[in-house]
Amino acid sequence: MSRLRRIRAETSAGWRSFVRRRTAVFFTFFFPVILIVIFGALVRTDPTGEGLFTEPPAYYVPAYLAVVVLFTPLSRMGSEVARHREGNRFEKLATTPVTRGEWLLAQTLVNAVIIGLASVLILALVVVLTGAEIAFSPWLVPYILVGVVCFCGIGAMLGSYTDSQDGAIAASNAIGLPLLFLSETFISLEQLPGWFEPLVNVSPLTYFARGVRAATFPEAGTADVAGLEPAVANFAILAVLAVIAFGLGARSIPRTD
């Protein structure tokens, strides 16, 4: 009960702090919306033609979701950790019963709610604006949750190893942007040089994209992994990576100076 109480207190404070920053709330939701408008409605996909966006609209659903599942935790966690460090909040928390894992879990829950809401908005806009025909699979929920856990862990590491909020945000952009485009999200593996495949395979976002695509757009023909259905197998891989990232992220949070 003590642990639950501490996590509840942290989550409640984190949620209130977020919703009271109107600019942050606005841009958290506006960023994916503008991407959908640009890529889905203005550029449009062209399943029969040439260029980058040659797949049907439903193919890109994991990419639009990845915008929030990847970027929001990276930038929010990075800057939150940096803000906590700069305000000596970790020094204070280190002298209370709350653990680093509990703190990160609470922040992850806040991110999960934000990203869950943003994902609903994204799915609705993708269907309305691009005419994507997607399957609303229950797999979406665990994929988004585990994706958030994974990238919150990585975001915590970014915040811990950079020396300022600005540095954390710059690092999250520098890491997030390549990951977003090179993890079988907007650009398929066939469109990349062959030597790039190992890099694609080490990106956690790749397994998110493959799994979500398998669940929401079965026609994409996502490959099985070791004889397992792609939605199950990619989820398992993503979950393992999420546990590792969360553990390392929690461990990276400063306890001492």
Partner 1 sequence: MEAEAVVEATDLEKAYGETVALSGASLSVAGGEVFALIGPNGAGKTTLVRALTGTTDPDSGSARVLGDAPAAIDRDRLGVLPQEFSPPDRLSARELLSYYAGLYDDPRDPDAVLADVGLADTGDTWYEDLSGGQQRRVCVGSTLVNDPDVLFLDEPTTGIDPAGRRTVWRLIEDLAAGGTTVVLTTHDMAEAERLADRVGLLADGSLVARGTPDELVRDHGGSSRLTVETAADLDAFADLEFPVGRPERGRLQGRTSESAVVVRDIAPAEIGTVVDYLEDRGLEYTGLSWAEPDLEDVYLALADRTELERTDSGGGEAADEAGADDITHAGETA
Residues of this chain that interact with partner 1 (CB under 8 A) are: 2, 5-6, 8-10, 12-13, 16-17, 20-21, 86-89, 91-98, 255-257
Which of 85/213 has CB closer to partner 1? 85
Compute the least distance from the CB of residue 249 to partner 1, in Å.
20
The distance of closest approach from Cβ of residue 96 to partner 1 in the complex, given in angstroms and rounded to an integer, is 5
| Region at 56 (left for phi over 0; alpha for psi -120 to 50; beta for the rest) | beta
Q: Give how far the C-alpha of residue 95 lies from the chain's centroid of Cα atoms, to the nearest Å.
A: 31
Residue 25 beta carbon to partner 1: minimum distance, rounded to whole angstroms: 12
> For partner 1, which is the closer residue by CB, 81 or 145?
81
Helix (H) or strand (E) holding 181: helix 165-181
Closest CA to 219 of 133, 125, 139: 133
Shortest CB 94 distance to partner 1, Å: 5
Alpha-carbon distances, residue 132 vs 2, 29, 30, 140, 217 (angstroms): 46, 20, 20, 16, 10
SS3 51: coil
